[in-house]
Amino acid sequence: MYLPARAAALCCRGLQGLLAALMVTAAVPSLAQDYPSKPVRIIVPFAPGGSADVFGRFLAQRLQETLGQTFVIDNRPGAGSVIGTDAVAKAAPDGYTLLLMSNTHTVNESLIPNKPFVLMRDFAPIAPINYSDLVLVAKASLPQSTLPDLIKAAKARPGGMSYASSGPGTPYHMAGELFKAMAGVSIVHIPYRGSAGARTDVLGGQIEMMFDAIPTMTEHIKGGKVKALATTGKVRSANLPDVPTVSEAGVPGYEATIWLGLMAPKGTPPAVIAKLNAELSKITSNPEVRRAWLAQGTTAMTMGVDEFTKYMNDDITKWARIVKFSGAKAE
């Protein structure tokens, strides 16, 4: 059948478009199969020594072993995680720059609204890693040794005590602000660039107290370098069974945790996201890993991409309510 030149050209272009689409579709499995073909950088927007850094390095080593490429940890602390996170938002969406994130990021959606990025718009969730309860510790020389006594002393001297955190919006900061609001006390927040500096000054007695991850603080507690006043979970920690929860020690209903996850720049190929989710899920569902983490006071988390996306959206909503209720500010 004879076709006019214009119709023939349109038909040809249509066939070319269809062929291109089929080639892209066929390339998706290959992309996942070939990934990664060069080193992968995981940006941790927190200082070395904290939970995100420690578990990030653990995962990097495991991923390197299973995927056969180097996974490099790149610490970029500052501005309550905003500096490092923005670097990932601006990176090529090819799976070779990833973000090790925490619930600092879901908090910051309401605490720091004028950021250069929007979390669920500019990033693609990959998978969660784990969560752990926190512990409220006080310097060893503090006269008060129980949470009720601490609350009583803080109410007697409004603004006379201080607590350290790893920076605005971090779980340690928000645990402190939620505690202040629910206990009705005025304690001054002293933000640091990372948890290591905050921890050092509490251990050294320069700051009265801080909320910190149980795995990080357990050794210092057992060594008598700090006093453990309360843990922040719904039930007592198996690592610190003699330490009451904040809820049972005088602030009913209180709960705060730190959780970690992995994200990529928006636009990263779904096949790459799926492959990373599968690999992380293998790690976090490994019985030996789960037992080792539980012994440290950490619980592994395993979710599919859609489930993790919903989890993050729900956490953003939850922390927006808490930020409003507590009156927390990003100093």
Domains and CATH numbers, the chain: 33-131+259-326 (3.40.190.150), 133-231 (3.40.190.10)
Contacts of 261 (CB under 8 A, 6+ apart): 101, 102, 125, 126, 127, 128, 129, 301, 308, 312
Tell me: pLDDT of 105 over 80. yes
Question: Which neighbouring-strand residues pair with 165?
Answer: 191
Packed helices 214-222 and 51-67: angle between N→C axes, nearest 10 degrees: 120
Closest CA to 245 of 259, 260, 257, 263: 257
Report helix, strand or coil for 148.
helix
pLDDT tens profile 55-92: 999 999 999 999 999 999 999 998 889 999 999 999 99
Q: Which of 58, 69, 120 is nearest to 263 (CA)?
A: 120
Confidence band, pLDDT 50/70/90 cuts, at residue 231: very high
Q: Considering only 166-180, 254-268, 270-284, which range has the smallest mean pLDDT?
A: 166-180
The DSSP call for residue 253 is T
3-state secondary structure of 169: coil
Cα distance between residue 172 and residue 43, in whole Å: 20
Mean pLDDT of 111-137: 96
Q: Which residues contact 128 (CB under 8 A, 6 or more apart)?
A: 259, 260, 261, 284, 301, 302, 303, 308, 311
pTM: 0.82
pLDDT at 24: 46
pLDDT band at 3 (very low <50, low <70, confident <90, very high): very low
- What is the structure's pLDDT at 331? 66
Mean pLDDT of the chain: 91
